Structures are given as C-alpha cells and as structure tokens.
Chains A and B, each alone.
Chain A
C-alpha cells in the first residue's frame, strides 16, 4: 500500500508546500500557529522518510523507489528520482535535522518566525530532492535553488556581518556550480541525455574526463569545502543563526561529498585515478592544517566550522584513497572499507556538528556571545548541558563508542593499506581533533565560574533537553552499533567500486 505511493515526491514536496503554507501565517501575532504547522510538517516529512528505510532492499545496488516522468522534452530532461544505499541515509538525516532545527528555533527566533520556519521547510524539500535526483539538470536546479533560502536565512537572521557572509556564501557556491553546469551540458551534447546513470555509462576520453573532473571538483570542493576554497564556511557559520549553522554543517557540506560519489568517481573514473594525488593532498591539508587553524580560534562557532572542514577532509580522503589501495594491495576489500568509512563519517558528522552548533546556540541564546573567553565554569551552573556538551565534544574528537570514532577508524585503517604516511597524517587528527575540541571544552565548561553572567546561567529547558538528548542517543547508537547503517551501503559501495575500476577509455 505504502510502497505504491510516490514516496520520494512526497518527501520532497510535503515540506515545500508546507513551507508555503507557513508563509501565509507571516504576521507576528500568528507565530504560535506558524510554529505548530512547521513542526507538524517537518515531523510528517520525517515520518514519510521512514518507509524509505524499512522498505529498502539492502541486497541490490539498483536505484529504488524510482519515479520517472518527462519534464522538458526539448532537452530530454526528466523528473527522474531514485535512491540507493548512499543517498537513503542522507535523506533520513536531512529530514531528521530539519525537525530538530524547527524545535531549536521555537521561541528563540522572534523576528519573522513564520518566514524562518518556512525557509527551513522549503530548504528541507530541496535538499532531499538533491539526494534523490537522477537527472543531472534536476539535480542542478535543486542544488542551486537551495542557495536561495540559505542566502535569506543567513542574511535576515544572521549576526553582525551577515550581509558580507551571505553574499560570500552565495557567490562562492554559485561560482563552483556553474562550471559543473558547463560540464553537464558538454556531456549532454555528446550523449544526448542528462540522466546521471547514462552519464555514468557513457565513454569519455582522457582529456575530456580530466576537464569534466576539474569542473566537478570546483563545484563540489567549494561545497565540501576543501582547502583552499573553504574560506566562505567560517564566515557563513559564524554569522548564520543556529539553525542555519546546523543545516549548513549537517547537510549542505555533505552534498559536496555526495557529488563526488554520485558524479566524479563513476563518471570520470580514469581522471579520478590520475588525479587522486591531488585529492589526497588537498584532503590531508584539510585534515592537518585546518586542525591547527581550529586550535587557535577564539570564537566557538568558528572553531567548530574549522573542525568541520577538517572532518570533511576525512571523507574526501576516504573516497580518493581507493586507487592507492588498489595499487598497493591489489584487492578491492580495503577500497570498500575506505568508501564506507567515509560515508559513515558523513552521517556521523551530520549528527555531531549539528549537536555542537546547537550547544553553542544554547549558550549564545543566554549570553549573546560566542567568544570562548567570555565563558568558563559553565558546568557549575548548567550541569545537564555540560554533560551533553562534553559527550558531543568527545564524539567530535573521535572517542570510541561514539559515532565519530567509527568512520575515522575505518578510513585510517584503510589508509594503512594505501600508504603508511597517508595513514600517519590522517591519524594525527585523533590527536589534534582531541586537542582543539577538548581545550575549548576545558575553557568553556570547566574551571571556576568566570564571571557574573556565567553565574546567572540557567540550565537547559525541556525543549533544549529533548533536542540534545535525541542527538546524544543518535551519536551513541551509531557509535555502538553502526551495522544497520553500513549494511545499507554494502551493495551500493560494491557497485561503485566496480564502476570506478572499469576504465571508460
């Protein structure tokens, strides 16, 4: 019964239409109603994604829940949706994060609350669409359309330098994507199809592949973001309202890495192999250098933003290390571990970074400061909050038993099969990650009560407790028992490796 419904369309359009509905309650006195509708829509969307998980067939790499309709026949562009083991968990993560963001913004957002909620709901639908799209133009349209609500969220509800940050954010990401558009058009003129699956199967020469790979690289590297095109992220994170930071860190960054596995690796496997040194180098720079940068930050949000860049370096490292593993060991086993580790890291980072930003948000709502120096001894006045914060910080540092450990461990383990030095450099993150995270926690949470403002702090209320509690459960569950997540991915990852190993020349 449920399987007959166009589930993917439902999860894309429910939040978008719901968001438009919320917009109608734009007046401030109607805010309570707008909040309730927003919550209902986001919860409904999340519930609609659950059948995607329960009804998912782990044994096949084929696209599931496929929907297909002609959209723009002139250019052979189709409304083609489908999910596999890589995109399904990301869709659940997106819908889940949006529910938390709506709750987290409940009474905190006083200025135009309905528009705030509506923007997140619309973005929820667009983001889910990005993960479902199997037509490259549909993908591109959603990928770009998503920038509009985010641009407004940062610009309207952001901090002091919000205008600078949001324009920088928009221009950076727009700059990256247009090159991808040219690459997509080029492939269309060669193959006559904008279908992503068709592009994965079309033959391409080496020069073409390299150019297409570089075009994709600009688009996705900006989004991940990879060093050296990461500079928009700290600005955007710092200025964005808490909800915006959560969605940016938890979902938007994942789109860059998703792009690598959906486009770069399968469409240009030979170029990926040829340029894997570049990707590994950039990833390691992100992992090591950005960790140092994080160490010296004075602003908590900035610190977490840099920590995100560093963690996303792990993901790209995992994806592009596979060629070195193949060369070194001659088996595909380690490759699977590298990619799966990276994918698990994506999901885990979604929870952890979201949780970290929510923690900062909780403190910011009370103190209106993000500076580490303004805090100290928060554990004395907010003990429950402090326990959450410490847990998430440990997860961020990759403590075994939390989700942060699983992905990093898998990637480092696989890295040893590729090259000792890659593994060594990647493993330093366990030290540096612990250093910058725990040092921040030490300065903010522990010690004597620093000043009167901290002394006056009130511990988390029920709403905040719920949000942080749910995330804590997710972080621990994924850390203790990651099998359900990796089981979903096996077949898809195996197929991806097959595609990558199959030369297109």
Chain B
C-alpha cells in the first residue's frame, strides 16, 4: 500500500514507449488543428513517425528481462516487447493501406490517425498490464477508440448501425469482465496479477467457487473481445458495416493485444485454475472453428467471409492457449502475430481493389483478378493459402505449432477436430482463388493505388511466403519471449 507520504517517483523507463506515444499523439492532435484539409498527409506522416519512434524505443529499451514499475501494475517483459513491435508494424501497415481509401471517401482526417494511435496506446497498455485495473484501462482505451472509428463515416447507415451494435455489446462485455474482476478481487484481496495467482493457491473450496465464477465472467469478457463463439455475434456485422479501412484496423493489431490480455489474465493471473479454464476454452475453441469455418462458406461478401474466418482462427489460437504449456503459449503467440499479418494483407487487398464509390467487398469483385493484375492476384493467392494453412506459407507453421502443442499434452482428438475444420475452411479460401484465376473479369478498371501501398502490400504477402520458407527465427523469437 502506498501512502502520500511514502510517494516516490516510479521508474518511468519501462513505460517510455507508452509515454512517447501518448505525448506524440497529443502533439499530433494539436498540430492537426493547424493542418489544412488538403495537407492532411502531414498528419499521416507524423503518425507513421510516431510508430517508428515507438518501435525504436521499444527495441532499444529491450533488455530481455522482466521489469515491474508503477508499484507492480505495469510490466515490461520480452513477450510484451515482441508483441508491441508487431502492433506498431501492423498499425503502420494499416495506415499505409488506408490512405487512398480514406481520401476517396473524405475520411482522410486527423481523427482517424489520432484515434488509431490512441488505440495503439491502449493495446500497448493492455500488453504491459500487470494489474487488473491497468488491463481494464488499456482495454477500454482501445475499445473506445474502435467504437469511434467504426462510427467515423457519419452518414453511412451501415457504419452507424455497426458502431451501435459494437458499442452496446462491447459495453456489456466490459461489464462482465469488470464484474468478474471484482469477484476475483473480493476473494483474493488483490488486483495485482502475481498476487492473485499466489492467493488462489491457498483458497478453500467455497472461496474457490466464487473465484471460479469470477473466472467464468472474465473469460466471457475476453471471448467477446477475441470474437470466440458463442460471443462472436458482433464480429461479422461490425466487420461488414465498418468502412474497410476501419475493419482492417479492428481485425489486425487488436488480435495481438487480445492474445496478450488472455496471457496476462488467464495464465499469469489465474494460471492455477488451468484445469477449469481449459475445459471452457476447449468448448469455445471447437465451436469457434466449427461455426467460423462453416458459416464462412455461405458468405457472398468478402469482409463477412474474412470475419467468419477470423472467428475460426481465434478457435485455433485458443487451442494453443488451452494446452497450458510454454510450448502452447508460444505457439498461440506465433499464431496471433502471423494471423495479424495475414489479415492485414487480406483486408489490404480489398482496399487495393476499391476506389471512389466502389467498395470491392463482394466476392465477385475478385473475379478475373489474375487478368487485371497478375502480380496482386498472386499476392492474394499467397494470403489465401496462408490463411488456409497450406505450405509453403506461414499459416501452415502456425497451425503446425498449435497442433503440436495440443498433441503434446495428450489432446490428440482435439488436433484431429482442428484439422477437420481446417479442411472445411480450405473450401472458401479456394473459392477466392477460383474467382481470381479461373473466372473472367467483370470489372476491367485498372487498379488505383499509391506506390507506397503497392510496395508495402507486396512486402506483406511476400513476407508471409518468406516466413513460410524460413519460419525458424520468428518461432524462436516467440519461444524465447514466453521463456
């Protein structure tokens, strides 16, 4: 406990990237007021510079050790550092991919970038949380930014509806999470994750039940944020209704942060209750893989299809976590990172095809892409095969790592279920490839996009191919980060 008289300056160094992003975003917020509408590219460049600066800070401050600060409520550890770097990377890619889309829709404004950066700050805090309050703070910062971003296209009915759905259900989930946290706090007497973990070890049966209830509510809240079945209802509607650039933002980096949230809460906080949460996670994982993969087949809108595909990928990610071993956690981390990269590429392709007044979000808009642009059809081919988990793309190794950790703890049947659902999943990814390669183009307009987007998107897809040929270093990084 801290009293005002014993106040001492906390060690700010571990939180320097967060402080930097906060300060820089405030500066951008102010500076944006003085930037004319046709010069918003300045805001855009400043935002990218902020992410680069944060990356430089995180990498230079990386020590490989776990450091606590702010009275143990904030942690800087290898896992957090790795995840943050990927959050910066993916967020930067999101900004680059979104530029021409936003310009064409008169959304290329400071709000998008400041909200995006505040969201990134929320993710960073979430990743570094070592206290339930810090965690909640990060989560809400992120969520509020995302609600606002979905509603950014003020005059669009779809976007407004999506924002309302997202906000109401999100608030409900946050309430569940908070209630669960309060129960756990009541039983263990602490908000600190390490102390909670220690206290749970010595609980008697009756108190354990209350802690169990708290755990269930916490899992409900997390499952909502992740988009795991049966708490996935919002996901297709929000992905579909939001402007594609926002879908891209929501669908990528926050998944990395959500993984960190699960790690902090379930593994670091409630690690001792592994036997209990494993069962819940098994059910959610199987349902997510089943519902996601099967319903995705019926979609005609590629954003909805990718939304259901996200749900199925979350199921796979949960498989790694529920294994409950260091191997499992590192495989889930690898999965989260590679998924964010794949999703960035996938939604990026939709943005590439879209132009003023044309969303390119129907599956048939991909018809004959190999005639219109053989190069980007090939990039999409890589992305789709990677999502399907076909080698030589990184999606295969993500699945391999997860399956291996599941088989390693004796849950071979679960691995068999996982692969069966992934076969079902292959079908709808193949359909995209079929449309691009085997059908004739309907729309023959040349692709409009900026050079930076073309380069980054190509690098994104080729990176997925490269990681599929040489996955060793990223895998080793994840293993080292989990320790």
Which residues of A line the B interface, CB within 8 A?
26, 71-75, 137, 140-142, 144-145, 147-148, 151-152, 155-156, 162-163, 166-167, 170-171, 174-175, 178-179, 181-182, 185-186, 188-189
- The chain A residue sitting closest to B403, CB to CB, is A185
Encode contact with A along B379-397: 1 for CB under 8 Å, 0 otherwise. Answer: 0010001000011100011
Which residues of B line the A interface, CB within 8 A?
374, 381, 385, 390-392, 396-397, 400-401, 403-404, 407-408, 412, 415-416, 419-420, 422-423, 426-427, 430-431, 433-434, 437-438, 471-472, 475-476, 479
- Chain B neighbourhood of A185, CB < 8 A: 400, 403-404, 407, 415
Which of A73, A145, A152, A166 is close to B391, meaning CB atoms less than 8 Å apart?
A145
Known: A147-B390, A181-B400. A189 touches B475 (CB 8 A): no
Known: A171-B423, A178-B419, A189-B407. A145 touches B438 (CB 8 A): no
Q: Return 30 A-B CB contacts under 8 Å, by A number.
A: A72-B475, A74-B475, A74-B476, A75-B401, A141-B396, A144-B390, A144-B396, A145-B391, A147-B390, A148-B381, A148-B385, A148-B390, A152-B437, A155-B437, A156-B438, A167-B430, A167-B434, A170-B426, A174-B423, A175-B423, A179-B416, A179-B419, A181-B400, A185-B400, A185-B403, A185-B407, A186-B412, A188-B404, A189-B407, A189-B408
Q: How far is the CB of B283 from chain A (nearest CB, A)?
A: 21
The answer to whether A178 and B407 touch across the interface, beta carbons within 8 angstroms, is no
Q: How far is the CB of B78 from chain A (nearest CB, A)?
A: 15
The answer to whether A182 and B407 touch across the interface, beta carbons within 8 angstroms, is yes
Q: Most B CB atoms within 10 A — which of A74, A137, A142, A144?
A: A74
Q: Most A CB atoms within 10 A — which of B374, B391, B471, B479?
A: B391
Which of A142, A156, A178 is close to B423, meaning CB atoms less than 8 Å apart?
A178
- Chain B neighbourhood of A148, CB < 8 A: 381, 385, 390
A71 to B468, CA, bound (A): 12
A168 to B101, CA, bound (A): 37
A186 to B422, CA, bound (A): 18
The answer to whether B407 and A163 touch across the interface, beta carbons within 8 angstroms, is no
- The chain A residue sitting closest to B330, CB to CB, is A74
- Chain B neighbourhood of A141, CB < 8 A: 391-392, 396
A186 to B390, CA, bound (A): 19
Known: A145-B391, A189-B408. A155 touches B400 (CB 8 A): no
Known: A71-B472, A73-B472. A182 touches B438 (CB 8 A): no
- Chain B neighbourhood of A171, CB < 8 A: 423, 426-427, 430
The answer to whether A182 and B419 touch across the interface, beta carbons within 8 angstroms, is yes
- Chain A neighbourhood of B397, CB < 8 A: 72
Known: A72-B472, A182-B419. A174 touches B479 (CB 8 A): no
A155 to B439, CA, bound (A): 10
- Chain A neighbourhood of B422, CB < 8 A: 178
- Chain A neighbourhood of B419, CB < 8 A: 178-179, 181-182
- Chain A neighbourhood of B403, CB < 8 A: 181-182, 185
- Chain B neighbourhood of A181, CB < 8 A: 400, 403, 419
- Chain A neighbourhood of B385, CB < 8 A: 148
- Chain A neighbourhood of B400, CB < 8 A: 75, 137, 181, 185
Q: How far is the CB of B428 from chain A (nearest CB, A)?
A: 11
The answer to whether A75 and B438 touch across the interface, beta carbons within 8 angstroms, is no
- The chain A residue sitting closest to B378, CB to CB, is A23
A142 to B400, CA, bound (A): 15
The answer to whether B434 and A145 touch across the interface, beta carbons within 8 angstroms, is no
- Chain B neighbourhood of A145, CB < 8 A: 390-392
Q: How far is the CB of B406 from chain A (nearest CB, A)?
A: 9
Which of B391, B415, B471 is close to A140, meaning CB atoms less than 8 Å apart?
B391
- Chain B neighbourhood of A179, CB < 8 A: 416, 419
- The chain B residue sitting closest to A188, CB to CB, is B404
- Chain A neighbourhood of B438, CB < 8 A: 155-156, 162-163, 166
Q: How far is the CB of A25 from chain B (nearest CB, A)?
A: 12
Known: A71-B472, A171-B423. A182 touches B391 (CB 8 A): no
The answer to whether B434 and A155 touch across the interface, beta carbons within 8 angstroms, is yes
Q: How far is the CB of A132 from chain B (nearest CB, A)?
A: 16
A182 to B399, CA, bound (A): 11
- Chain A neighbourhood of B412, CB < 8 A: 182, 186
A140 to B397, CA, bound (A): 11
- Chain B neighbourhood of A166, CB < 8 A: 438
A189 to B397, CA, bound (A): 16
- The chain A residue sitting closest to B370, CB to CB, is A156
